[in-house]
């Protein structure tokens, strides 16, 4: 398996994800966690009728943040595995992950059988 190419793809996706995260969150260096940030434009609005919208917007950001963060974690782990030469092995059963699964998701941590586990 050519992991050099895979690592390039993963690193590119990591950069992309961190850019997206940067739009909706900030990285707290004390906790090492991304934290959703309120939309500053909305926060500066004086009209209190928008309070509910603001809250919804923040909720949306928080849920988007979780999705992006989970994806970023998978990618970082996959990169670490490439560096440790343990890439492409299912985390549950240790078998080689199907190549079409890795093609669809290079950061997949498990084989098809264990993808929801």
92 binds Zn ion (CB under 5 A): yes
111 binds Zn ion (CB under 5 A): yes
Report the nearest approach of Zn ion to the CB of residue 108 (Å). Answer: 10
Contact (Cβ atoms closer than 8 angstroms) between residue 37 and residue 61:
yes
Q: Select the span of 3-11, 46-54, 65-73, 92-100 touching Zn ion (CB under 5 A).
A: 92-100
**Residue 10 class from Cβ within 10 Å (0-12 exposed, 13-18 middle, 19+ buried)?**
buried
Question: Nearest CA to 4 among 75, 82, 76, 89?
Answer: 82
Q: Which is nearer to Zn ion, 16 or 92 (CB)?
A: 92
Q: Which DSSP helix (H) or strand (E) runs through 7?
A: helix 3-24
SS3 59: helix
Which of 72, 75, 82, 90 touches Zn ion (CB under 5 A)?
Answer: 90
101 binds Zn ion (CB under 5 A): no
6, 46, 66, 113 from 53: Cα distances, Å: 41, 13, 20, 41
Q: Select the span of 33-41, 43-51, 59-67, 87-95 touching Zn ion (CB under 5 A).
A: 87-95
97 binds Zn ion (CB under 5 A): no
Contact residues: Zn ion, CB under 5 A: 90, 92-93, 111, 113-114
């Amino acid at each position: 398996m050519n992991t050099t190419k895979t690592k390039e793809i993963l690193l590119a996706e990591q950069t992309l994800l961190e850019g997206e995260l940067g739009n909706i969150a900030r990285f707290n260096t004390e906790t090492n966690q991304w934290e959703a940030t309120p939309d500053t434009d909305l926060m500066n609005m004086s009209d209190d009728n928008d309070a509910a919208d603001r809250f919804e917007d923040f909720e949306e950001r928080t849920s988007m943040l979780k999705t992006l963060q989970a994806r970023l974690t998978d990618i970082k782990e996959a990169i670490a595995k490439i560096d440790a030469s343990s890439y492409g092995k299912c985390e549950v059963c240790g078998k080689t992950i199907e190549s079409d699964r890795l093609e669809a998701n290079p950061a997949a941590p498990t084989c098809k059988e264990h993808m929801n586990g």
